[in-house]
Amino acid sequence: MQSALALFALAAVSPLSVSAVPATATASSSSALPSATSNVLGLNELAHAAGKNYFGSAVDNTLPEFTDPTYMSIYLNWDQFGQITPANAMKWMYIEPEPGVFNFTLGNQIADLASDYDYVLRGHNGVWYSELPSWVTSTDWNATGLAYAVQRHVNGIVSQYAGRVYAWDVVNEPLNDNGTYREDVFYDTLGASYISLALETARAADPNAKLYINDYNIEYVGTKSTAMQDLITQLQADDVPIDGVGMESHFIVGEVPTTLVENFQAYEALGLEFAITELDIRMELPATEESYEQQKQDYYTVVNACMQVSACVGVTVWDWTDKYSWIPSSFPGYGDACPWDADYQRKPAYDGIAIAFEGQNITA
Ligand code: 9MR
């Protein structure tokens, strides 16, 4: 396994001295689709100027991203990105593949990059129904045994990165779309108590990390968002530590919800911070000039909603280039969900983000 430093050397960059990519992107040679024109400040610079903590991206070092020099030369430009979330590296199946046996190799690559480049680190994630090792899903648990396993896992990962993580998605996707609890190994064995157990364990392991619950379809007014607010209210009443909510924001071009601001204000009223944690906006392929322009509008709408509510601390895209996006394999026929295309050209979506952080009206 290469050290993080070796990987950075491969990418031919050094901390905080990365030169920006050419200011004006040109259209991809493979298409006549439009590209971005915003060229003064990078997106992370704009986020900071707007009073937000970061603009960042998920990075998947289970894919060959870290060894892709073009990817790294753009990603390690703090002007553009100031935050990192491991797309997979800190998930249970990678980080505790056997009971009590932790493998921090991939997670450390991400955390070391964050330290070396002064990027905000979001830990992702503690307890989730997916990407679990088989020993978690196939054991016939009793409550005591699984509670111990949850505590050992959360303590193991949170203490490993204590002092380095800004926020942890301690609990990921605990709710169904109808607002009921997701029935997974944790809920089926422990009921909703696994949520408070995980949060309390995380707080003890790193008192300074912001503790989040992260989910999708809670970004807009509706049954699931109401259920999440009820869960937060209950945790607060029970004195369980909870600091923030992650709004995943996996959207579809032309179908971005219209109640983002109203919904975000409801979370702010609970005294929490929140973040856009996994933004991407997919479109039906092939892309057209019109779908690119709609995507620009849609990225603007989401980032502008974050701008309207001060409790929104930052925006993370779920990878920034279509080259490594998870969308095509999960949604056949859809893609082009990221602000940079697969050839690393900035799309109009990039301008939508920039205009929102600048506080401009996109139609002006
Ligand atoms: O990007 C992740 C992808 O590589 C994995 O195959 C997938 C497994 O479900 O998880 C993806 O990330 C998910 C994130 O951890 C939680 N919210 C939904 C994301 C997309 O599935």
Nearest partner of 282 among 351, 334, 223, judged by Cα: 334
Is residue 364 assigned to a domain? no
Instruction: Tell whether ligand 1 has an atom less than 6 A from the beta carbon of residue 319.
Output: no
Q: Give the number of other CB atoms < 10 A from CB of residue 359.
A: 12
CATH for 229 = 3.20.20.80
Helix (H) or strand (E) holding 136: helix 134-138
Ligand 1 atom closest to Cα of residue 330: 21
Instruction: Measure 338 CA to ligand 1 centroid, in angstroms.
Output: 15
The rounded Å distance from CA 324 to ligand 1 centre is 12
Nearest CA to ligand 1 atom 8: 131
Phi, psi of 56 (to 5 degrees): -145, -170
Let me know: does 198 contact 126? Beta carbons within 8 Å.
yes
Residue 31: per-residue pLDDT? 62
Residue nearest to atom 20 of ligand 1 (CA): 326
> Is any atom of ligand 1 closer than 6 Å to the C-beta of 255?
no
Instruction: Tell me if 42 is assigned to some domain.
Output: yes
60 lines ligand 1 (CB under 6 A): yes
Rounded-to-integer distance, Cα 24 and Cα 22, Å = 6
| β-pairing verdict for 273-284 and 334-335 | antiparallel
- Residue 362 in any domain: the answer is no
Calpha distance 56→316 (Å, rounded): 5
Asked whether 93 and 67 are in contact (CB, 8 A), the reply is no
Cβ burial, residue 263 (10 Å; 0-12/13-18/19+): buried
> Contact 299/261 with Cβ under 8 angstroms?
no
What pLDDT is attached to residue 22? 36
3-state secondary structure of 25: coil
Q: Is 169 in the pocket of ligand 1 (CB under 6 A)?
A: no
With respect to residue 83, please indicate whether it lies within any of the assigned structural domains.
yes
Interhelix angle 193-205/223-237, nearest 10 degrees: 60
In this structure, the residue with its CA closest to atom 15 of ligand 1 is 87
Helix/strand/coil for 173: coil
Q: Which domain holds residue 51?
A: 4-357
The protein residue whose alpha carbon is closest to atom 3 in ligand 1 is 326
Stated pTM of the model: 0.93
Q: For residue 363, is it within any domain?
A: no
Contacts of 354 (CB under 8 A, 6+ apart): 36, 38, 41, 43, 46
Dist CA 130 CA 331 (whole Å):
17
Q: Tell me the Ramachandran region of residue 195: left when phi exceeds 0, alpha when psi lies from -120 to 50, beta otherwise.
A: alpha
pLDDT by 10s per residue, the chain, length 364: 334 334 443 333 333 333 333 333 333 444 689 999 887 899 999 999 999 999 999 999 999 999 999 999 999 999 999 999 999 999 999 999 999 999 999 999 999 999 999 999 999 999 999 999 999 999 999 999 999 999 999 999 999 999 999 999 999 999 999 999 999 999 999 999 999 999 999 999 999 999 999 999 999 999 999 999 999 999 999 999 999 999 999 999 999 999 999 999 999 999 999 999 999 999 999 999 999 999 999 999 999 999 999 999 999 999 999 999 999 999 999 999 999 999 999 999 999 999 999 999 987 4
Q: Is ligand 1 within 6 A of the CB of residue 248?
A: yes
Q: Is residue 21 part of a domain?
A: yes
Q: Whose CA is nearest to atom 19 of ligand 1?
A: 278
> Does residue 301 belong to any structural domain of this protein?
yes
How many structural domains compose the chain? 1
Catalytic residue annotation: 173, 278
- Is 323 inside any structural domain? yes
Q: Is 326 in the pocket of ligand 1 (CB under 6 A)?
A: yes
- Distance of alpha carbon 194 from alpha carbon 158, whole angstroms: 16
